Amino acid sequence: MTYTMQSDSSIIGAFANQQIAETALNALQESGLPAESFSLALQTPPVSETEAGTNAGKGAIAGALCGAIVGFILSYARTNFAETVTSDDPIRNLVGMILAGSLVGAAGFGLMEAMTGVNVMKEGDEISALTPSFLVFVKDLQPEEVTKAKRILIQHGSQIQD
C-alpha cells in the first residue's frame, strides 16, 4: 500500500481520519485484493480557502518591526562600540541596517506565518471544512473488484457512496 497518487488512478473512498482510512486499506488487503492496487493520499484545501494570506500579511508586519529593531540595535552597536567604522555617515548606516533588518524580518516572518496559515480554514467556510481529508485511489483492477473494494470501504466509513 503506497501513499502517493498515480495519474491513472480513480478515487473510490474518502475518509476524514487517517487511522480509519488505513484500517479500511488493511481490510481491502485481507479481502484478497492486491495491496499494490491501492494508494492513500492526503487532500489539502485550496490555499484561497485558508488563512495563509491573512497570516502572511500579519507575519510580514511583525517581522518588519522586529527586523527594524534588530537593525537599529546592530547599527547602534557598530557605531558606538566598533573600533573602526567603515561608513562616514552614521545616519546612512543606521537607515541601511534598519531597512535591511525590516526586509529580512518581513520575508522570514511572512513565510513562516503563511505556512502555518495553510492548515487553518477560513471561518464560516463550512463546505470546505467538511471535505474529506484522506482519499483512497485504485488502479489496475477489474470492475467487479472495484465494486467489491467500494463496498468494503463504505462498511469502514468511506464518505464516497456508489
Residue 51 dihedral angles phi and psi, to the nearest 5° = -90, 15
Name the least confident of 9-13, 114-118, 158-162.
Answer: 158-162
pLDDT tens-digit map of 83-119: 555 656 778 888 888 999 999 999 999 999 988 887 6
Classify the C-alpha dihedral 110-111-116-119 as positive or negative.
positive
Q: For residue 52, what are the contacts with CB-CB under 8 A and spacing of at least 6?
A: 114, 115, 117, 118
Q: What is the pLDDT of residue 127?
A: 47
Radius of gyration of the chain (CA): 26
* Averaged pLDDT, 5-26: 81
pTM of the model: 0.53
Question: How many other C-beta atoms can be found within 10 angstroms of the C-beta atom of residue 44?
Answer: 12
CA 24/CA 156 separation, integer angstroms? 6
DSSP string, 96-152: HHHHHHHHHHHHHHHHHHHHHHTTSBPTT-HHHHTS-SEEEEE-S--HHHHHHHHHH
In this structure, what DSSP letter does residue 61 have?
H
* Averaged pLDDT, 13-22: 87
Q: What is the mean pLDDT of the chain?
A: 81
pLDDT tens-digit map of 116-148: 887 677 776 554 444 558 888 888 888 888 889
CA 13/CA 4 separation, integer angstroms? 15
